[in-house]
Amino acid sequence: MQATVATFDPETWSGRVLLDDGVTLPFGAEALAGTRLRHLRPGQRVQVTVEDQVITALQILTLSR
């Protein structure tokens, strides 16, 4: 599923994304585990994996894990 980064806190590695269907979901540092990401910026397009309304994985669309 694709989304847009709404907020990102580089200290806690958490934030919120806006899904393409208009739903906003939070994500924690665990969603970035195993990625090479160091920073996300608002407006950046990402690919997310959502299970039970929880983001379990997040990556930039042009990067692979």
**Cα–Cα distance, 27 to 55 (Å, whole number):** 6
pLDDT tens column, 12-46? 999 999 999 999 999 999 998 888 777 899 999 99
| Letter string b/e over residues 10-33, b meaning 16 or more CB atoms within 10 A of that residue's CB | eeebbbbbbeeeeeebebeeebbe
Q: Per-residue confidence at 10, pLDDT binned at 50, 70, 90?
A: very high
Q: pTM here?
A: 0.86
Candidates 61, 56, 65; CA nearest to 20 is 61
Please report which helix (H) or strand (E) contains residue 18, including its range: strand 14-19
How confident is the model at residue 60, as a pLDDT? 87
